[in-house]
A and B are shown apart, each in its own frame.
Chain A
Amino acid sequence: MKNLAWKRDVDPEEKFGRRINILWVGIICAFLLLLVRIGWLQLGEGERYRYLSENFRLQLLPLPAPRGLILDRNGEKLAENEACFSVAVVPCNVNNPDELLNSLPRSLHIDRELAKRKIQEAINPFRPVSLIKKGVDMSTITFLLEREEEFPGTVVLTHPVRHYPYHNIASHLLGHIGEVNQKELSMNFIPGVEAGDLVGKMGIERVYNEYLQGKKGGRQIEVDAYGRPLRTISERDASPGNNVYLSIDIKLQEIAERELGERKGAVVIGDPYTGKILALVSHPNFDPNLFARGISEENWVRLKQDPENPLQNRAVRGEYAPASTFKIIVAAAALESHKINEKETFLCKGELRVGNRIFRCWKEGGHGRLNLEGAIIHSCDVFFYQLGLRIGVDRIIEFAHLFGLGRPTGIDLVSEGKGLLPSPSWKLRNKGEAWYGGDTANLSIGQGYILVTPLQMLGVISAIANGGKLFKPYLVEKIVDPRGRVIKEFFPHRVGKVPLSPSTLSILRRALRGVVREGTGWRAENKVVEISGKTGTAEFPGGERPHNWFIGYAPSDNPSLAIVVLVEHRKEDISIAAEITGKILSQWFGKGVETTSSPS
């Protein structure tokens, strides 16, 4: 009782003093703790640490993490890792770099100047510096290991190296890896990544780098005078990256690459009901294996300076005039605005005067009288000049926008092109000129200022196939950790809806089937699968070879694939894109008939 009373009446000043005394005692204890610890390190262990410090007997061996695999939808490996030997030196154990470098066998192909610089400028002299980029063969490795003592400071390291078994196939979409640069190091602070590490630079390797990267391990070791490990001080295993499963089917991808052949261009194949991409081809391409161990200067310059630009992904970044494939959008806009019906016809005499300019049809002499279906089937330009002028530029632009043109699709790849959707205000702003009737006529056949990417056109044709839905295209189905647990799954994402009535759809679909059965796309016709689609030929005023398009879907009555084929500056005077489409799809669906039940 007495005690309690005392507590209650305690003078605040006294209470403060008592509490600060408690604090002070705590501080004294903390200082003692530090002193004991420092004393132990400096007096107890001091001799050992001095020895370690003065004789450079510590080494740091990084254990690189294998990158995650990239697999196609059926689990086929598109990017994997191979074990590879390399030779490195620990800078603090090298007395005379020149002597060491000269004594090492020639079969290592060491760049002596570069290696010497690397040894002298090493940030952490305990850490091995790699001397060579290429793998070393077993006989050289055995030779080195047998004569370890002759090469003090040299270590043989095993590490995983990226390998792409399909080489050039799907190179743009897989991408490649490369040494992390200063900007990446400072900008997005990928945990555990340091200078000299390899990170994704393009394609899936880049976009999903965070998942693929894995976590480096390392081993701190004490070594003897010859650099041989004596004792491990601390160790952490590397943890491999996660595996990325693509929606790509590598078999379809291979067929598409083969059929596009040596032509410049792109092929994109997707599922019209989900936006999943099944094949994405861009040609010319490159071999990502060149980058796997760090690309050589020579190869890099060659790829970078190639006028054909093999590093560019034409399917998502290439921007082209859509030409007659755009007529699908003009027709949809006209039907939905009730500016034309199935029966109405226009006369094509081979040319049309708009203002004071003459606009020609591709067919000299003209098509005669045509209704909308006929005009699509035979791709009549004069019909569409008149139709476009009737519905007006604003309506066309509105529908083009609804179909997803003029903006990036949002596919999971970097530096996607967004194309160009012109409008009167755009023209005034950028060209300082008013929009004329002639501009509308040009736009109606997909020429003039308008630019689209093949991937955007896949969205357009998919919307016709699926009844007007616009999906965000995507390449990755799921990401799975090394133990097989799904850590992220991707689902279709609808980003828009084109208002297309059932009657509009049926007219357009009938016409698109007609294009292949009896019209400009007849080269796509085959015995295996019915294809619907639209051709396009983007002409150039200067007499350059035109680009050739085919956008379509198959099977016609129950579409399971949408496809876009673009051939840049075609060499053949035929509708080559339609022919390529026919070959790809007949092989694909034909294979389906042989092996499993009919896909239709």
Chain B
Amino acid sequence: MRTSYRSADWVMLSAVVALAVFSLFHLYTIAFPDQVHYFFRQVIWVGIGLGLLLIASLLKIGFWRKIAYIVYGIVLLALIMVLFSTGSIHGAHRWLKIGRITFQPSEFAKLALILVLGKILANKEKIGWSEVGISLCFAFPFLILVAAQPDLGSAFIFLFLWIGMLFLAGIPFKRFLFILGTIFLLVASSYSFLRPYQKMRILAFLNPEKDPLGTGWSILQSRVTLGSGGLIGKGVGRAVHTQLKFLSQPFTDFIFASIGEEWGFIGVLIILGLYFIIITRGVMISKENGGSFAGLVSAGIIILFFLQIFINVGMTVGIMPVTGLPLPLMSYGGSSTIMFLLGMGMLFGLRRRY
């Protein structure tokens, strides 16, 4: 048993490092030559992230359990400060500046919520209404604060994390369906209270094809970029469509389209394969830890990892709304990169020690 775990970890670690290295290489090829500074910054962030990954994998599970509430408190404070921060990018307040460093507290909030939910829901004989209520009290403030930024994509991530972890913690099936139904009714009824212009914004958000100038154009371009890669791609450094800046946000939101253009269907298969290896290993680690804190937290990280992959790639290929959620370990951006590498480190540290 023990040796098979050891090997499992190395497979996963290799997949993570392979993705990180590939992301840097790919970023370099599409940023070269006039935007190489993005590459250099990303190198620093990946470096910091890998360092944190190493540290996190050495820490014992009890450590995370102990600091869960403290981390939650700090992130909550940061999220409140973000709302009052001056300066916005594309009309949204998402960044917090401390000294010369800016970061996105909403990214770290995702890990913080996983830790707190793990602590509340772990090792429960039965998930009753009180557990549902308490866990909601922790998830709800994050959801509201992030939705107000406005960052609806991340707000939905919090909602799904809460639902997913309740499910895994063993909430009775009827109760689970009841909660899903309630959420559906709440969302539907709050929609009817919105003002017409708010409705229009939400409709544009859900159905960007109706907005051919804005997000609709990004989506068309994203499809053309990805599709034009064909089976084997246009080749290293030949992602013409990306480089000519036809693709909007090529380093962050739509990085996957540029991967498809440059590396083709084969490249895409490899990337998705690496993601799938990480998820499968994560699921195994989680399973071995059962319904404990370690099991729930590792499952939470996997849910988060999967959701962001699915939403981001889904957006790129036009089956999900445009949300601006980064692609884990691929998209340019310090907060997201560091958060996911730290999360991967936690997964390693969470293995059961015999």
Contact of B227 among A41, A123, A236 (CB under 8 A): A41
Contact A43 B306 (CB under 8 A): no
Contact A41 B310 (CB under 8 A): no
Contact of B306 among A27, A52, A219 (CB under 8 A): A27
* B353 proximity list for chain A (CB < 8 A): none
One digit per residue, 1 when the CB lies within 8 angstroms of any chain B CB and 0 when it does not, for chain A 167-190 equals 000000000000000000010010
Contact B226 A42 (CB under 8 A): yes
CA distance A16 to B291 in the complex (A): 6
A496 at the interface (CB under 8 A from B): no
B210 at the interface (CB under 8 A from A): yes
One digit per residue, 1 when the CB lies within 8 angstroms of any chain B CB and 0 when it does not, for chain A 206-223 equals 000000000011111000
B295 at the interface (CB under 8 A from A): yes
A584 to chain B, nearest CB (A): 41
Contact of B213 among A16, A43, A218 (CB under 8 A): A218
Contact B212 A20 (CB under 8 A): no
CA distance A234 to B218 in the complex (A): 13
Stretch from A32-40, A321-329, A358-366, A528-536 forming part of the interface with B: A32-40
Contact of B168 among A20, A46, A216, A234 (CB under 8 A): A20
B81 at the interface (CB under 8 A from A): no
Contact of A19 among B167, B225, B240, B241 (CB under 8 A): B167
B164 to chain A, nearest CB (A): 7
Tell me which residues from 209 to 264 in chain A have a Cβ below 8 Å from any Cβ of chain B. Answer: 216-220, 233-236
Stretch from B11-19, B138-146, B264-272 forming part of the interface with A: B264-272
B65 at the interface (CB under 8 A from A): no
Among A12, A125, A126, the one with the most B-chain Cβ atoms within 10 Å of its Cβ is A12
Contact A38 B210 (CB under 8 A): no
Decide if the interface of chain B is mainly helix, strand, loop or mixed: helix
Contact B230 A218 (CB under 8 A): no
* A234 proximity list for chain B (CB < 8 A): 209, 212, 216, 220
Contact A42 B310 (CB under 8 A): no
Stretch from B184-192, B312-320, B343-351 forming part of the interface with A: B312-320
Contact A49 B228 (CB under 8 A): yes
One digit per residue, 1 when the CB lies within 8 angstroms of any chain A CB and 0 when it does not, for chain B 274-294 equals 011001100100110011000
**Given the contacts A12-B125, A27-B306, A234-B220, A37 and B290 also touching, CB distance less than 8 Å:** no
Among A42, A46, A194, A216, the one with the most B-chain Cβ atoms within 10 Å of its Cβ is A42
Among A19, A33, A47, the one with the most B-chain Cβ atoms within 10 Å of its Cβ is A19
A573 at the interface (CB under 8 A from B): no
* B75 proximity list for chain A (CB < 8 A): none
* A192 proximity list for chain B (CB < 8 A): 213-214
Q: How many residues of B contact A (CB 8 A)?
A: 60
Contact A125 B244 (CB under 8 A): yes
CA distance A186 to B295 in the complex (A): 44
Contact A220 B216 (CB under 8 A): yes
Contact A13 B291 (CB under 8 A): yes
A191 at the interface (CB under 8 A from B): yes
* B216 proximity list for chain A (CB < 8 A): 218, 220, 234, 236
CA distance A558 to B351 in the complex (A): 90
B197 to chain A, nearest CB (A): 8
Contact A42 B229 (CB under 8 A): yes
* B303 proximity list for chain A (CB < 8 A): 23
Among A12, A34, A189, the one with the most B-chain Cβ atoms within 10 Å of its Cβ is A34
Contact A123 B245 (CB under 8 A): yes
* A123 proximity list for chain B (CB < 8 A): 245
* A33 proximity list for chain B (CB < 8 A): 319
Contact B125 A236 (CB under 8 A): no
**Given the contacts A17-B290, A42-B227, A54-B240, A218 and B306 also touching, CB distance less than 8 Å:** no
**Closest chain A residue to B220, Cβ basis:** A220
B150 to chain A, nearest CB (A): 10
* B260 proximity list for chain A (CB < 8 A): 38, 41-42
B246 at the interface (CB under 8 A from A): yes
**Closest chain A residue to B273, Cβ basis:** A31
* A49 proximity list for chain B (CB < 8 A): 223-224, 226-228
Contact A42 B230 (CB under 8 A): yes
**Closest chain A residue to B229, Cβ basis:** A42
A62 at the interface (CB under 8 A from B): yes
* B170 proximity list for chain A (CB < 8 A): 12, 15-16, 19
CA distance A52 to B230 in the complex (A): 13
**Closest chain A residue to B299, Cβ basis:** A20
* A35 proximity list for chain B (CB < 8 A): 269, 272
Contact A46 B217 (CB under 8 A): no
Contact A34 B313 (CB under 8 A): yes
* A396 proximity list for chain B (CB < 8 A): none
Contact A42 B220 (CB under 8 A): no
**Given the contacts A23-B164, A38-B268, A53-B224, A43 and B217 also touching, CB distance less than 8 Å:** no
A50 at the interface (CB under 8 A from B): yes
**Given the contacts A58-B220, A234-B216, A30 and B291 also touching, CB distance less than 8 Å:** no
**Given the contacts A13-B291, A20-B299, A37-B319, A236 and B226 also touching, CB distance less than 8 Å:** no
CA distance A123 to B220 in the complex (A): 16
**Given the contacts A42-B226, A47-B230, A58-B224, A218 and B212 also touching, CB distance less than 8 Å:** yes
Contact A53 B228 (CB under 8 A): yes
B60 at the interface (CB under 8 A from A): no
Contact B317 A16 (CB under 8 A): no
Contact of A216 among B213, B227, B231, B310 (CB under 8 A): B213
**Given the contacts A23-B164, A53-B240, A62-B213, A41 and B226 also touching, CB distance less than 8 Å:** yes
A122 to chain B, nearest CB (A): 10
A34 to chain B, nearest CB (A): 5
Contact A45 B246 (CB under 8 A): no
**Closest chain A residue to B248, Cβ basis:** A124
Contact B88 A186 (CB under 8 A): yes
B201 at the interface (CB under 8 A from A): yes
CA distance A332 to B224 in the complex (A): 76
Contact of B291 among A15, A186, A219, A236 (CB under 8 A): A15
CA distance A124 to B209 in the complex (A): 18
* A189 proximity list for chain B (CB < 8 A): 88, 90-91
Contact A60 B212 (CB under 8 A): yes
A436 at the interface (CB under 8 A from B): no
CA distance A123 to B246 in the complex (A): 8
CA distance A12 to B228 in the complex (A): 49
Contact of A38 among B125, B164, B317 (CB under 8 A): B317
* A236 proximity list for chain B (CB < 8 A): 210-212, 216
Contact of B272 among A15, A31, A43, A52 (CB under 8 A): A31
* A124 proximity list for chain B (CB < 8 A): 217, 246
* B317 proximity list for chain A (CB < 8 A): 34, 37-38, 41
A497 at the interface (CB under 8 A from B): no
**Closest chain A residue to B210, Cβ basis:** A236
CA distance A216 to B204 in the complex (A): 13
Contact B306 A42 (CB under 8 A): no
A24 at the interface (CB under 8 A from B): yes
Contact A16 B272 (CB under 8 A): no
* B272 proximity list for chain A (CB < 8 A): 31, 34-35
A to B CB contacts below 8 Å, 14 in the list: A12-B123, A12-B291, A15-B291, A19-B170, A27-B306, A42-B226, A43-B230, A47-B230, A52-B224, A52-B228, A53-B246, A126-B246, A192-B214, A217-B213
Q: Knowing that A33-B319, A42-B260, A186-B91 are A-B contacts, what are 5 other residue pairs whose CB atoms are under 8 Å apart, sorted by A's residue number?
A: A41-B223, A42-B229, A50-B230, A218-B211, A236-B211
A-B interface, 6 closest residue pairs, ranked by CB to CB distance from nearest: A49-B227, A189-B91, A218-B213, A53-B228, A46-B230, A218-B212
